[in-house]
Chain A
Amino acid sequence: EPEVTQTPSHQVTQMGQEVILRCVPISNHLYFYWYRQILGQKVEFLVSFYNNEISEKSEIFDDQFSVERPDGSNFTLKIRSTKLEDSAMYFCASGVIGGKNTEAFFGQGTRLTVV
């Protein structure tokens, strides 16, 4: 069964460093998303991406964050100058083109730890 794949599963980085979280969405999907979940808290929307551009972003997704689909298969989230409070699980999701029943399939997440 096709699935969304995220790498790495766990990333430890020093405060102030840049990290890139990688995602391979399901191959025929056209809508891509990043969500994050701080430990013990609910999942929060970060950004949606369609047709090679951001279609919506949350207030969390500030200039520190950027997304890219560099090669038609990968979908990346870059976090510049990481802060301690960026420590969280980051989930990538993708969905097929379609109406309001578009399903979002989630990857297993990347646990980011900023030290």
Chain B
Amino acid sequence: KNQVEQSPQSLIILEGKNCTLQCNYTVSPFSNLRWYKQDTGRGPVSLTIMTFSENTKSNGRYTATLDADTKQSSLHITASQLSDSASYICVVSARITGGGNKLTFGTGTQLKVEL
């Protein structure tokens, strides 16, 4: 069964500090791995998307890494801001035979940035 596990479950950091979120997955057939940011009561917003051949991808203060051999990914946030407070969700995509992609979501890491 396809699964995505994330750690930690929740995290509190001070504004300006860096943090790293972890993701482990067992999804087949692997298509790509995405990190989403979800504010409470809102839809997920894509931060990065990486294919099998990509090791790292950056989007501003967000840097994602992917180790396809160990099936692990991380999301590093630098110089955190109060607005970074949200749930960060690791999502792994499997190609659907009939077309499109089926996304398997992790449970997310709830990040809170404080003054």
- Could you list which residues of chain A lie within 8 angstroms of chain B, going by C-beta atoms? 4, 31, 33, 35, 41-45, 48, 50-51, 53-56, 89, 91, 95, 100-109, 111
Contact call A42/B100, Cβ cutoff below 8 A: no
Q: Known contacts A89-B41, A100-B32, A101-B32; is A56 also within 8 Å of B93 by CB?
A: no
Are B43 and A107 neighbours in the complex by a CB distance under 8 Å? yes
Whether A100 pairs with B51 at a CB distance below 8 angstroms is yes
CB distance from B48 to the nearest CB of A (A): 11
Instruction: Answer yes or no: B76 CB below 8 A from chain A CBs.
Output: no
Contact A42 B101 (CB under 8 A): no
Residues on the B chain within 8 Å of A108, using CB: 42-43
Instruction: List the A residue with the shortest CB-CB distance to B96.
Output: A56
Residues of A within 8 A of B108 (CB): 42
5 tightest Cβ-Cβ pairs between the two chains A and B: A55-B98, A106-B43, A50-B99, A31-B100, A43-B105
Within 8 A of A (CB), among B5-34: 31-32
Q: Residue on A with the closest CB to B6?
A: A42
Cβ contact within 8 Å between B41 and A35: no
- The complex places the Cα of A109 from the Cα of B38 at a distance, in Å, of 12
Question: With A42-B106, A44-B105 in contact, do A103 and B46 touch (Cβ < 8 Å)?
Answer: yes
Question: Closest residue of chain B to A92, judged by CB?
Answer: B43
CB neighbours (8 Å) of A43 from chain B are 44, 89, 103, 105
**B100 touching A33 by the CB < 8 A rule?**
yes
Question: With A56-B102, A100-B51, A104-B103 in contact, do A48 and B96 touch (Cβ < 8 Å)?
Answer: yes
Inter-chain CA distance A39–B96, complex, in Å, is 27
Q: Residue B104 at the A interface, CB < 8 A?
A: yes
Which residues on A sit within 8 Å (CB–CB) of B102?
45, 48, 56
How distant is B47 from chain A, measured CB to nearest CB, in Å? 12
